[in-house]
Amino acid sequence: MKFEPKQITLKNAKTVFIRQAKVSDAEDLLNCVKIYIPTSKYIPKLENEIKLTVDQEKDWINSFIINDNSLLLVAEYEGKIIGNIDLTGSRRKIMEHTAVIGMGMLQEWQHIGLGTALLSMVIEWAKSNPILELIWLQVYTENESGLNLYRKMGFTENGIIKNFFKQNNRYFHILTMSLTV
């Protein structure tokens, strides 16, 4: 199912273009992710664990193009990718009506409405997708802006696993949230 590209103006008065990722975005998207993952406290991946090559990233992007229950959007400003959201539909028949969300953006673009815009567009797309019925995500219970965003968009809390993450001898809890579309 196609996604019609959109433009939105953020709270910093800058206008950003949101569109479906293309295979040719692989290098730029990988560069963006390599910057925001190590600087985000609430993405459970260490810098040395980001091992995808550009070719593997191309395959990953292509999986969203060919799978009808999946969508990968990028936010672009002045030709550069500044953030993304992925909705990965299950490949298992019994769960193909479900998809999991991942999202992130460069630090200087956080807290000015980009997450709200990306997530609203994914929810709207999921609602009109004939396969999807349930979308879900997992979030650190300390990720205030993430929690506020997901609650604002109507996600409900399904449960917490305590001490799920352990970093520098500190434990963090994980919360699963979901939305019926």
Residue closer to ligand COA by CB (options 89, 146) is 146
Name the one range near ligand COA by CB under 6 A: 23-31, 69-77, 145-153, 162-170. 145-153
Q: Look at residues 158, 156, 160, 155 and name the one whose alpha carbon lies nearest to residue 141.
A: 160
Torsion angles phi and psi, residue 52, rounded to 5: -60, 135
Q: Is 115 in the site for ligand COA (CB under 6 A)?
A: yes
Q: Choose, by CB under 6 A, the member of 20, 63, 67, 143 that binds ligand COA.
A: 143
Using the rule CB under 6 A, is 139 a contact of ligand COA?
A: yes
Stretches 26-34, 69-77, 140-148, 163-171: which one binds ligand COA (CB under 6 A)? 140-148
Residues 154-165: b if buried by 16+ CB within 10 A, e if exposed: ebeeeeeeeeee
The reply to whether 112 sits near ligand COA by the rule CB under 6 A is yes
With CB under 6 A as the contact rule, the residue among 34, 91, 152, 166 that binds ligand COA is 152
Closest listed residue to residue 34, CA positions, set 18, 21, 53, 9: 53
Give the integer Cα–Cα distance in Å for 159 and 156. 9
103, 122, 126, 179: residue in contact with ligand COA (rule CB under 6 A): 103
Burial (CB < 10 A; 0-12, 13-18, 19+), residue 97, is middle
Cβ–Cβ < 8 Å for 95, 69: no
Residue 53 in contact with residue 103, Cβ under 8 Å?
A: no
The yes or no reply on residue 72 touching ligand COA (CB under 6 A) is no
Q: Which of 75, 114, 132, 135 binds ligand COA (CB under 6 A)?
A: 114
- Could you say which of 82, 87, 132, 149 contacts ligand COA (CB under 6 A)? 149
Interacting residues toward ligand COA by CB under 6 A: 40, 42-43, 103-105, 110-116, 137, 139, 143-146, 148-149, 152
